Amino acid sequence: MLYNKKIILGVTGGISAYKCAHLVRLLIKQGAVVKVILTPAAAEFITPQTLSVLSNNQVIVDFFDANFNWNNHVHLAEWADIMLIAPLTANTLAKMANGLCDNILLATYLSAKSKCIVAPAMDLDMYQHPTVKHNLETLKRNGNLIIPAESGELASGLVGEGRMAEPENIVVFIQEYFKQNLPLNGKNALINAGPTYEAIDPVRFIGNRSSGKMGIAIAETLANKGANVTLVLGPTNEKIINSAIKIINIENSDQMYEAMLSNYDNKDIVICSAAVADYKPANLSSSKIKKKTENFNLELTKTKDILSELGQQKKQQILIGFALETEKLLEYAEEKLKNKNLDFIVANSASENGTVFGADTNKITIIDKHNKISNFELKSKHEVAVDIVNYLIDFIK
Ligand code: CTP
């Protein structure tokens, strides 16, 4: 969910700083890239070494650290997608509210263009103090987001509001923040990818060379843009990185048909990138076929056209198909766009260099139902996926 998100974690000097070890682990587990800045006081509560090991990055404490050019706070601030300060003490809060800048964390905060999210932590009466409340209001007014302190037992022995939000809750808050700002937030997407294997007998099948890379890259991109993604996936060795993607593994075209149709109704976006077999053996042999005769004829029968069926049942869905052609690319792609009732079709030529099944690159043309034709350069499949999803986002608009 936080895959590749760049997060600066600022830690200030309170007892709950020890929880930051766990917080860093959770963020890293979500795929985030984390750089930690400690205030000198925070380093009394948790060692830079611990956070450096857990974040896989150098931890910055001092303006005048020999390994760190003091001026780098500007680059650091530009690098980040968000800045998180947890725990936030009353002292650093007051400085942030008033623009003070006597350590590297505050200098980075003042340089940051990204959103700053803070998780205050202090003792009961401090948290209730009018000055603290006033400073929190100032921070809010200045565009920062506050994760309110939680109630419970405090380090002083008092019980009440003031505990830093639990690391799990901080992570959920950050996830929600990123989700809300994503263009496909709340959209439900269904996509199929990979080949299908049509069984001949218990040990043999008819398949094709599709790797599923293109469809998987699209699924990952949709998820990164906030969509809830269900991926119906044929046999492939490719890995899916984003753990939020719901995967339905299938083997043959009938199973893919069932999976796509039964998951279709509540979807906003449906993309068929799978290389579905067009024909399957008419009869499945229950035992291994022996090589008794010199010649062997295998009778094939047409598979169901999944995309055509989805096109016929289409309601609110934006339906997108692929066309792989070796000749008359645009003519055949336009035919498929109309016949299958699509919103747009991604055409690619199997005869172009770098676009064969299994390759890491692809060159596409998108044709939409308003006859708009957009050509794209040869790119990595990941970049092509971003082009397709960006096109989709514009199309929805
Ligand atoms: N498709 C499908 N079910 C099938 C065959 C194809 O859903 N049984 C989908 C593919 O996932 C793709 C689109 O239809 O999005 C076009 O697939 P393609 O193989 O290019 O064309 P076909 O429709 O199979 O026609 P032909 O093989 O004659 O070009």
Q: How confident is the model at residue 355 (pLDDT cuts 50, 70, 90)?
A: low
> pLDDT at position 103, please?
93
pTM of the predicted protein model: 0.76
pLDDT tens digit sequence for 228-255: 999 999 999 999 988 889 999 999 999 9
Going from the C-alpha of 146 to that of each of 35, 85, 319, the distances in angstroms are: 20, 10, 40
> For atom 20 of ligand 1, which residue has the closest CA?
323
pLDDT tens digit sequence for 62-103: 877 656 666 677 788 899 999 999 999 999 999 999 999 999
Cα–ligand 1 centroid distance for 323 (angstroms): 7
Q: Is 208 a catalytic residue?
A: yes
Q: Tell me the H-state helices in the chain.
A: 20-29, 48-55, 73-79, 90-98, 104-111, 124-128, 130-141, 167-180, 213-224, 253-262, 306-312, 329-339, 381-396
> For atom 3 of ligand 1, which residue has the closest CA?
305
Equal CATH topology for 6-179 and 188-287+294-396: yes
Residue 169: strand, helix, or coil: helix
CA geometry: angle at 246 spanning 240 and 252, to 5°?
80
* Mutational test site, ligand 1, from 218, 233, 276, max ligand atoms within 8 Å of CB: 276
> For atom 9 of ligand 1, which residue has the closest CA?
307
By CB neighbour count within 10 A (0-12 exposed, 13-18 middle, 19+ buried), where does 267 fall? buried
Backbone angles phi, psi at 201, to 5 degrees: -150, -175
> pLDDT at position 356, please?
64
From the CA of 274, give the closest atom in ligand 1. 11
DSSP conformational letter for 16 = G
> Is the C-beta atom of 272 inside 6 A of ligand 1?
yes
pLDDT tens digit sequence for 135-165: 999 999 999 999 999 999 888 888 888 999 9
Question: Which tokens belong to 185?
Answer: 């937030």
Cβ within 8 Å of residue 285, ≥6 positions away? 200, 201, 202
> Is the C-beta atom of 336 inside 6 A of ligand 1?
yes
- Residue (of 116, 252, 138) closest to 197 by Cα position: 252
- pLDDT exceeding 90 applies to what percent of the chain? 86
Domain positions in the chain are: 6-179, 188-287+294-396
Cα–ligand 1 centroid distance for 99 (angstroms): 61
Q: How confident is the model at residue 107 (pLDDT cuts 50, 70, 90)?
A: very high
The CATH code of domain 188-287+294-396 reads 3.40.50.10300
Average pLDDT over residues 50-69: 85
Catalytic residue among 188, 208, 242, 341: 208
Average pLDDT over residues 120-124: 93
Query: How far apart are the C-alpha atoms of 187 and 199, rounded to whole Å?
Result: 35
> Is the C-beta atom of 303 inside 6 A of ligand 1?
yes
Residue 286: strand, helix, or coil: coil
From the CA of 310, give the closest atom in ligand 1. 7
Instruction: Give DSSP secondary structure letters for 32-91.
Output: -EEEEEE-TTGGGTS-HHHHHHHHTS--B--TT-TTS-GGGHHHHHHH-SEEEEEEE-HH
Instruction: Give the residue carrying structure tokens 């044929």.
Output: 234
Give me the CATH topology for the region 6-179.
Rossmann fold (3.40.50)
> pLDDT at position 350, please?
80
> Is the C-beta atom of 307 inside 6 A of ligand 1?
yes
Cβ within 8 Å of residue 277, ≥6 positions away? 195, 196, 197, 198, 206, 207, 208, 252, 253, 303
Average pLDDT over residues 340-350: 95
Q: How confident is the model at residue 3 (pLDDT cuts 50, 70, 90)?
A: confident
**What residues are paired with 321 via a beta bridge?**
272, 345
